[in-house]
A and B are shown apart, each in its own frame.
Chain A
Amino acid sequence: MIRNPYMPQEAEILKIFQETDIDYTFRLKTDLKVKSGQFLEVSIPRIGEAPISVSDFGDGYLDLTIRKVGRVTQALHNLQPGDKFFIRGPYGNGFPIDKLKDRRLIVAAGGTGLAPVKSLINQYYNDSLEIKSLQLLAGFKSPGDILFSSELEKWSKKFPVEITVDRGSENWKGRVGLVTKLVADLDISEVENTMVIVVGPPLMMKFTTQEFVKKKISIGNIYLSFERKMSCGIGKCGHCKIDDTYVCLEGPVFEYSKAIQLLD
């Protein structure tokens, strides 16, 4: 029998962290080796399967930050620590760690787009990512949608973290506005030595990337992480195909010079 790549493995939930009203991080017990920016196919038998990006990982565990929006994710949110669900993967290329080496890195994340870059940011925080500097720009819909609050707080003590929300609230004392505005206000030193990662909803990525281009960042220095419908994760089902590219195989992380050629 040939190895069946569709066969999922059972994994136990170690802990569940509530991030917002609808976003929860599930910590799974697993020895899977993953890279920042990769994703898993997550499933519950008889309910279905969905692609979810890995938000963090460590010795013997990995984290998936999951928003309650679809059939599978609804069902996941009924589970408790000690329960199990199924995973297969990891899939996709992940972020180009080697290209970031010794560079200044700016990460711009919109909403749940912060999840796929969280592990990368934590690697820098824990001194295991060899880059010169890191700056994080994160945008959320409202103060109630802010993910990883305690991490953001922790990170901001070590490197610049700018947070903005589309709509403020009575108690919100931070910035209100789009991530694009944060980019526009940046004063980037060493433009040629700066790498950029943009992750978020399609429109946020489009306009944020354009803003970085206006700041004279080369299109070869900008990376985007795509989100697409995927059934298989292994280049068979066809849902994520754009032009001659399969997002699950060659992506989900693309250099912007390639991404602008990928027209839907």
Chain B
Amino acid sequence: MGYKIYREKFADLFHELRASYEIYAPITKKDKGMYSDTDLITYDKVESFTEIVFDKKTFFSPKEIVFPIRQTLFYFTEDSVLEPTKLEKDIVIFARACDINSFRSLDAIFLQNGPYEDPYYKKLRQRVKFILLPCDGFENCYCACLGTNITDNYSAYVDVRDDAVYCKVKDAYWKGLWSKYGEESEVEPRYVSKNENTLEIPQKINNSIFEHQMWSEYTNRCTGCGRCTVVCPTCTCFTIQDIRYDDNSKCGERRRVWASCQIDGFTEMAGGHGYRHKQGERTRFRVLHKISDFKKRFGFQMCVGCGRCEDACQEYISLKNCIHKISEIMAEEEKV
């Protein structure tokens, strides 16, 4: 069902929604950007509709809402192991199609991979409803090449234009709320149909790519800072670590914290042995995971084409250029 709701009315609707949900959306954090005097556009909990930024891509993805940067698994006291029990409200996330689609990858790892569901992820994930935002594409995006430009997985769609908000509500539970504030109207989501960047993902990548000299360029350029994996909406690696509290060393907790295949120590075992010491090898590992390894395991591409890894890279390393090179090399091999 579609609705047209005037801005002031939508603010009221939002207020009512906020009574039942924690709402996350793109917002501006003043002067917190990557360079001096720049703002950071990122996901955070929002209090009012006017805080939401509708016309910019967020630097970080929404993944930390369901997969926090640091998450307590257990609290330890002297003689007990306790699971965190805090109960929260349900969650609403305002997101574009690519970001909603990125949750498929998170679900695949946390809910499908291996014999167990991850209970910490599931507890947060099952509380999430999405409000889809329209998108006209941004710099470095290539979602249309991956099919992640569209989605059906949303409870409502919200498009703010001029003095009104045009909505489509799919969630039956929400229809009453929307109809209270708006008049019925024909609304269909607006998606990017073509990005400025087009890209062909190679269908088959031979193991010959492992030895290819293309990676040496990344060994020279990549500094191993891990930003690409931190901003990626589909990177899910973590390390489990224990801490003891300073004020009472008999108490502490077991946590998981985000880990990155680009940063030293990712594969290092006790005794010092590890794998993939060169940054080029780590770039190869990351890129092949995004466009090949994951798909072999789960049947769909991990990369959603949001371009955040490129936006964040201080060395201007471009995933789409890298994918393009791999395509060319594979096409060349086909000919031979």
Which parts of B105-160 form the interface with A (CB within 8 Å)? 109-110, 113-120, 122
Whether, in the assembled complex, B220 has its beta carbon less than 8 Å from a beta carbon of chain A, the answer is: no
Which of B8-16, B178-186, B242-250, B310-318 lies at the interface?
Answer: B242-250
Nearest A residue to B237, CB-CB: A238
Closest to B269 in A: A229
Across the interface, do A3 and B114 meet the contact criterion of CB distance under 8 Å? no
Given contacts A229-B266, A263-B207, contact A239 B83 (CB under 8 A): no
Known: A228-B267, A231-B240, A236-B109. A241 touches B273 (CB 8 A): no
- On whether the beta carbons of A7 and B207 are closer than 8 Å, the reply is no
**CB <8 Å contact, B117 and A2:** yes
- Cα distance A46–B74 in the bound complex, in angstroms: 10
Report which of B116, B240, B249, B251 forms a contact with A237, defined as CB distance below 8 A. B240
Name A264's closest neighbour in chain B (CB-CB). B275
Interface 1/0s, chain A 39-75, versus B by CB < 8 A? 0000111111110000000000000000101101100
Given A1-B119, A48-B241, A243-B293, CB of A7 within 8 Å of CB of B81: yes
Q: Chain B residues near A72 (CB, 8 Å)?
A: 270
Say whether B256 faces chain A, with CB atoms less than 8 Å apart: yes
Instruction: Kindly state whether residue A219 has any CB partner on chain B within 8 Å.
Output: no
Interface residues of B in 269-292 (CB under 8 A from A): 269-271, 273-276, 281, 288-289
Interface string of A222-261 (1 = CB under 8 A from B): 0000011101101111110101101011000000000001
- A207 at the B interface (CB under 8 A): no
| B113 nearest CB neighbor, chain A only | A235
**0/1 per residue, A16-51, Cβ < 8 Å to B?**
000000000000000000000000000111111110
Asked if A232 meets B240 with Cβ closer than 8 Å, knowing A50-B270, A201-B273, A243-B293, the reply is yes
Interface residues of B in 50-79 (CB under 8 A from A): 73-74, 76
- Cβ of B113 to closest chain A Cβ, rounded Å: 4
B239 lies within 8 A of chain A by Cβ? yes
Q: Is A4 positioned at the interface, with any CB of B under 8 Å from its CB?
A: yes
Asked whether B261 is an interface residue with its Cβ less than 8 Å from the other chain, the reply is yes
Query: In the assembled complex, how far is the CB of residue B257 from the closest CB belonging to chain A, in whole angstroms?
Result: 10
* Min CB gap A249→B, angstroms: 5
B293 to A, closest residue via Cβ: A244
A241 & B289 in contact (Cβ 8 Å cutoff): yes
Residue of A nearest to B249 (CB): A46
Chain B residues near A234 (CB, 8 Å)?
A: 114-116
- How distant is the Cα of A208 from the Cα of B93 in the complex, in angstroms? 54
List A contacts of B236 (CB < 8 A): 236, 238
Which residue of chain B has the shortest Cβ distance to A236 in the bound complex?
B118
Greatest chain A CB density within 10 A among B116, B240, B241 is at B240
Shortest CB–CB separation between residue A113 and chain B, in angstroms? 13
Q: How many residues of B contact A (CB 8 A)?
A: 52
Residues of A within 8 A of B274 (CB): 229
Q: What's the tally of chain A residues with a CB closer than 8 Å to chain B?
A: 44
Residue A172 lies at the interface, judged by CB distance under 8 Å to chain B: no
Q: Does B252 contact A (CB under 8 A)?
A: yes
Shortest distance in angstroms between A118's beta carbon and chain B's nearest beta carbon?
A: 19
Q: Mostly helix, strand, loop or mixed at chain A's interface? A: loop
Interface membership of A177, Cβ < 8 A: no
**How far, in angstroms, from A238 to B254 measured CA to CA in the complex?**
18
Given A69-B270, A236-B109, A236-B114, residue A244 in contact with residue B237 (CB < 8 A): no
**Are the CB atoms of B289 and A5 closer together than 8 Å?**
no
Question: Would you call A46 and B271 a contact (CB within 8 A)?
Answer: no
Contacts of A238 in B (CB 8 A): 109, 236-238, 259, 261
A46-B273 in contact given A229-B266, A241-B289 (Cβ < 8 Å): no
Complex interface bits, B283-325 against A, C-beta within 8 A gives 1, otherwise 0? 0000011000110110000000000000000000000000000
* Residue B210 interfacial (CB < 8 Å): yes
Q: Are B210 and A263 in contact (CB under 8 A)?
A: yes
Q: Is the CB of A7 within 8 A of B237?
A: no
B268 at the interface (CB under 8 A from A): yes
Which residues of B are found within 8 Å of A243, using beta-carbon distances?
Answer: 288, 293, 296
Verify B256–A2 contact, CB threshold 8 A.
Answer: no
Kindly list chain B residues whose C-beta atoms are within 8 Å of the C-beta of A86: 81
Q: Please, which residue of chain A has its CB at the minimum distance from the CB of B241?
A: A48
A138 to B188, CA, bound (A): 69
Distance A1 CA – B266 CA, assembled complex (angstroms): 32
Chain B residues near A73 (CB, 8 Å)?
270
Query: Residues of B contacting A202 with CB < 8 Å?
Result: 273
| Chain A residues whose CB sits within 8 angstroms of the CB of B254 once the complex forms | 6, 43, 45, 49
Cβ of A8 within 8 Å of any chain B Cβ, yes or no, is: yes
Q: In the complex, A7→B271 CA distance in Å?
A: 27
Tell me the bound Cα distance from A227 to B274 in angstroms: 10
Measured between beta carbons, the chain A residues less than 8 angstroms from B122 are: 2
- Return 11 A-B CB contacts under 8 Å, by A number: A5-B116, A6-B240, A7-B83, A8-B81, A46-B244, A69-B271, A70-B270, A231-B259, A234-B114, A236-B113, A264-B276
Report which B residues bind A (CB closer than 8 A).
73-74, 76, 81, 83, 109-110, 113-120, 122, 207, 210, 236-244, 249-252, 254, 256, 259, 261, 266-271, 273-276, 281, 288-289, 293-294, 296-297
Nearest 3 pairs of A and B residues by beta carbon = A235-B114, A70-B270, A238-B237
In the complex, given contacts A72-B270, A246-B113, A249-B113, what are 13 additional A-B residue pairs having Cβ atoms less than 8 angstroms apart? A3-B119, A6-B120, A45-B242, A45-B252, A46-B76, A47-B242, A202-B273, A227-B273, A236-B109, A237-B240, A239-B266, A248-B114, A264-B267
